[in-house]
Amino acid sequence: MSDKLHWDDALADLNLTQDGPINIGYLCTDRNVERGLGDKTALIHQGHGGALGKFSFIDLKELSGGWAAFLEDRGVGSLDRVCLFLDRVPELYIGFLGILKLGAVVQPLFSAFGDESLISRMEDSGAVAIITQRKHLGKVRKVRDRLPELTMVVVIDQTDAHKPLRDGEVAFDMETGRNADFIPAATGAESPSVLHYTSGTTGKPKGALHVHESVLAQYLTTRDVLDLKPEDVYWCTADPGWVTGTSYGIIGPWTLGATQFVLDAGFSSAAWYQAMSDHKVSVWYTAPTAIRMLMKDGAELVKEYDLSALRHMCSVGEPLNAEGVLWGREAFGLDFHDTFWQTETGAMMITNMPGMTVKPGSMGKPFPAVEAAVVDADTGIRIDEPNTVGMIAVKPPWPSMMRTYWNNSATYYGKFLNGWYICGDRASIDNDGYFWFSGRDDDVINTGGHLVGPFEIESALLEHEAVAESAAIGKPDPVNMEVVKAFVALKPGFEPDDDMELSIMNFIRKKLSPLAMPQEIEFMEKLPKTRSGKIVRRMLKAKERGEEIGDTSTLDDD
Ligand code: 6R9
């Protein structure tokens, strides 16, 4: 551990004590009002069609207090799980803080999720309430009778003009529900806060459970890696359905009292640059896939906009290739600073700090309060030899480390080896201590920075009436790093034609999400399997990459 920085350094800055209460909802809202930032703009929100909304820290305090009081009045208690199932509307950000102020556990869900994705995550968490909007209410209604613990559906945009709500559904208008007097729950360091589901190779998605103390790590890394200053306008392009959108799209920046910009609109390079210019975005946190999409439109386009406010850029989610960094220099005259971390780690672990020499293609070095290494996969022994690939490992504990996987502590404990937390990614460390990513150590598909579990896709494929066998792998893709490719064997009597391909694609898009939808389906007579019946994704992957299929002798007795 470095002697330069300790996680506890955040305590004094945030006016906290070692054993005293600590509540993320309070730290992001009321505390900023108490320290004189009440009138400062906390959120600049740009919705579809360019509609703008501005919220001060006083607004954040009163509106999140309103959410907390509303939920409390309706019987939501501390530790209850409350889901957010919303587009990037202001209620998503402010509701998140209200749930934490109440002392309940917030479970964010992507609004693009289909019924199967919702069920697997809500059945597991036993969520009692879900906050949604009319646009997505149909999807919630579809899954309700399979979720006995879900007793309340809150709708944020219900008006008299709409059809009446059904039993168990209730309308809440955030603006009229303001409450300046709500007293935030006196949660402690170890009180559960955020539950984010993440995909693994096998089984259903797992819920990484975080605690209020995580804020110490989110605060310090936001301050020192994102380098936020009081006068900055900061834009995190991530959706809060993903951990980046909560740790660094809500918690970190607002504990610093920063002004955040949020864009709730589809992607276009021109619209992004226009928004950055209009709102004078000065610090920007985005992902390699977005950078590659911007690259496609060229550096010339960037020059058409006044981006003179922009002074710092960071990236996360997938390997940031050297080309992306070099293009960033050409287009913006700045370096993209890569950061490596996971849902499970809750905050950045390996970073390119401002002022550090960026080596294009490297993830950087451990954040100064983090001890990280590469270790041998079998023994967990540190590999000291430079430029040798091993498993990325981090020495526990740290404040934002998940405390368990919900309902699945066995898998949680399985993540530790020889005193290290094993991330599940491979990397090497060069002579200067820089980490170089080499790949994931499992079959999880990383598409545009989002992890998708092959097992979830395979299970959903089998629910299609024509599918007999299925396998899903990540196929290399120049923009999204990987896209989902499915291999399918059909039941007798079904034809492997274009219509069938479209039908299967749409089926997955609706059941899971657009991200999980296979971009390509290859029909096969039968899929390669072990004697015990397990499909061998390794062979399909090798075939896809045009590699030698390798040793197949173990195939039958795997
Ligand atoms: C924050 C987040 C975690 C996985 C991680 C790794 C990949 C993330 C990366 C990176 C290379 C980087 N990943 N950052 N790979 N370079 N800078 O992404 O969380 O969705 O849980 O994904 O993403 O494979 O293990 P999460």
Per-residue confidence in pLDDT tens, the chain, 558 aa: 445 799 999 999 999 999 999 999 999 999 999 999 999 999 999 998 899 999 999 999 999 999 999 999 999 999 999 999 999 999 999 999 999 999 999 999 999 999 999 999 999 999 999 999 999 999 999 999 999 999 999 999 999 999 999 999 999 999 999 999 999 999 999 999 999 999 877 778 999 999 999 999 999 999 999 999 999 999 999 999 999 999 999 999 999 999 999 999 989 999 999 999 999 999 999 999 999 999 999 999 999 999 999 999 999 999 999 999 999 999 999 999 999 999 999 999 999 999 999 999 999 999 999 999 999 999 999 999 999 999 999 999 999 999 999 999 999 999 999 999 999 999 999 999 999 999 999 899 999 989 999 988 998 999 999 999 899 999 999 999 999 999 999 999 999 999 999 999 999 999 999 999 999 999 999 898 776 666 788 889 888 888 766 555 444 433
Phi, psi for 276 (deg, rounded to 5): -65, -35
Question: What is the distance between the alpha carbons of residues 382 and 229, in angstroms, rounded to a whole number?
Answer: 37
Tell the residue number behind the tokens 């004590």, with chain if given. Answer: 17
Phi, psi for 405 (deg, rounded to 5): -95, 130
Most informative mutation of 345, 425, 443, 513 for ligand 1 (most atoms within 8 A of CB): 425
**Is 310 in contact with 279 (CB distance < 8 Å)?**
no
Question: What is the distance between the alpha carbons of residues 398 and 217, in angstroms, rounded to a whole number?
Answer: 8
**Is 518 in contact with 484 (CB distance < 8 Å)?**
yes
**Is 486 in contact with 470 (CB distance < 8 Å)?**
yes
Strand 312-315 and strand 336-340: pairing? parallel
CATH topology assigned to domain 445-545: GMP Synthetase; Chain A, domain 3 (3.30.300)
Distance 244 CA to ligand 1 centre (A): 10
Tell the residue number behind the tokens 């202001």, with chain if given. Answer: 90
List pocket residues of ligand 1, CB cut-off 6 Å: 198, 242-244, 316-319, 338-343, 363, 423-425, 437, 440, 446, 451
Exposed, middle or buried, 417 (CB in 10 Å: 0-12/13-18/19+)? middle
Question: Which tokens go with 432?
Answer: 């200067």
Tell the residue number behind the tokens 């007798």, with chain if given. Answer: 492
Cis, peptide link before residue 368, omega less than 30° from 0: no
Burial letters for 328-358: b for 16+ Cβ neighbours within 10 Å, e otherwise? beebbebbbbbbbbbbbbbbbbbbbbeeeeb
Phi, psi for 205 (deg, rounded to 5): -60, 150
Look at ligand 1, atom 4, and give the residue with the nearest C-alpha.
342
Using the 8-state DSSP alphabet, how is residue 242 labeled?
S
Question: What is the distance between the alpha carbons of residues 294 and 288, in angstroms, rounded to a whole number?
Answer: 10
Whole-structure pTM value: 0.94
Question: Could you tell me which of 339, 338, 312 has the C-alpha nearest to residue 325?
Answer: 338
Question: What is the distance between the alpha carbons of residues 312 and 294, in angstroms, rounded to a whole number?
Answer: 17
Give 77's Cβ-side CA count (13 Å radius). 0
The atom number, within ligand 1, closest to the CA of 338 reads 17
**Is 265 in contact with 418 (CB distance < 8 Å)?**
no
Q: Which residue ranges make up each domain of the chain?
A: 9-371+398-411, 445-545
Architecture of domain 9-371+398-411 in this structure: 3-Layer(aba) Sandwich (3.40)
